[in-house]
Amino acid sequence: MFPLQRGRRLRVNESIRSLVRETTLSPADFMFPMFIAEGENYQSEIPSMPGIFRRSLDLTVEEVKELFALGIRAVNIYVKVDESLKDNTGKEAWNPDGLMQRAIRAIKTACPEMIVMPDVALDPYSIYGHDGIIENGDIANDATNEALVKMAVSHAQAGADFVAPSDMMDGRVLRLRQGLDAAGFQNVGIMSYSAKYASAFYGPFRDALDSAPREADVVVPKDKKTYQMDYANRIEAVKEALMDVEEGADMVMVKPGIAYLDIVREVKNAVNVPVTVFHVSGEYAMIKAAAERGWLDHDNIMMEQLMCIKRAGASLISTYFAKEAAILLNK
């Protein structure tokens, strides 16, 4: 007790603070989400995400090399699909010559040690902007799972290290594990979006891929709340994560990040696999917007949020700040 114990003795200067620091960050803690588009020597900044671009394959490969040189060891990739290729089956998602498959091959050829985790969900390929196949006005869970297996196997064939199902269909991790194993890809891992909430923080991401639910000439759900989780729930997240681990997930994810750190800790305490946290587009955009107006110190708030996500229990942080944070850490 005071005065024998004085907490400030351990805060006297940065050298002492660094000696007793409980949580540390390194570039290897980050995964960078990347948006890929058709074309050559093409990049287009996403208006709601300053500093983040849709890039053609050639420029994507160059960016991946830069990321690897900074110490980042994983990328989570998404593709912007041409409207003419979208339908209600998602069949373009398992086209062996599709943009995603070509992107995986290009990245692994140029930078073999970079871990590539392609997104597994049908919304970029859906004319309705939903993560699954629409039947009778709702998402057909089991039919969607069959499509996701085809998609995941095609990713594995292209060279993916992990597949990252973000769709939130029931039972899809088990189906993916069975499908990958049957195709001879026992060593391809699954990073499951286990606790993905129906959040308003995803807006800029949907701008990037044009993947928001849209009006249609048939009855479709107006939002994604019949499959993404209710943000009022906590215990449900633990249940979903435990189920995914039982079905074969090698990693589980909580999404979004900063607003859900209580969930991160709950899941971390419950599972025996690494926990990934997605620091999502809306969280990124808010910091960028506030910093542009001089309301926040960009670098300090960026690093504080990333540190807090790691402190809460994240083994890996998927963040649009990965490159900027890695540059700062390397300094």
The tens digit of pLDDT for each residue in 122-135 reads 999 999 999 999 99
Tokens in use for 224? Answer: 């994604």
Q: Report yes or no: 77 and 103 within 8 Å, Cβ to Cβ.
A: yes
pLDDT for res 220: 83
Going by the DSSP 8-state scheme, the letter that residue 274 receives in this structure is -
Catalytic residues: 196, 255
Q: Are the C-beta atoms of residues 21 and 5 closer than 8 Å to each other?
A: no
Q: With 70 as the cut, is the pLDDT of residue 218 above it?
A: no
**Backbone dihedral region of 186: left (phi > 0), alpha (psi from -120 to 50 degrees) or beta?**
alpha
CATH number for the region 23-330 comes to 3.20.20.70
- The dihedrals phi and psi of 296, each to the nearest 5 degrees, come to -135, 150
- Kindly give the pairing relationship between strand 43-45 and strand 53-55: antiparallel
**87 pLDDT tier (thresholds 50, 70, 90):** very high
Q: Which residue has the higher pLDDT, 218 or 308?
A: 308
Q: How confident is the model at residue 214 (pLDDT cuts 50, 70, 90)?
A: low
pLDDT band at 222 (very low <50, low <70, confident <90, very high): confident
Task: Return the sign of the alpha-carbon dihedral for residues 109, 115, 121, 126.
Answer: negative
**Quick one: the chain helix, strand, coil %, rounded to 5?**
45, 20, 35
Domain ranges of the chain: 23-330
Q: Given pLDDT bands bounded at 50, 70 and 90, which one contains residue 237?
A: very high
pLDDT value for 217:
65
Burial class (CB in 10 A: 0-12, 13-18, 19+), 201: buried
Quote the DSSP letter at residue 87.
Answer: B
Residue 106 reports pLDDT greater than 70: yes
pLDDT (average), residues 75-92: 95
Model pLDDT for residues 293-306, shown as the tens digit of each residue:
999 999 999 999 99
304 is known to lie in a ligand binding site: no
Mean pLDDT of the chain: 95
This prediction's pTM: 0.95
Report the 10 Å Cβ neighbour count for 91: 16
Mean pLDDT of 195-215: 80
pLDDT at 208 exceeding the cut of 80: no
Task: Tell me the average pLDDT across 184-213.
Answer: 88
pLDDT tens-place string over residues 29-59:
999 999 999 999 999 999 999 999 999 999 9
Supply the pLDDT for residue 257: 95
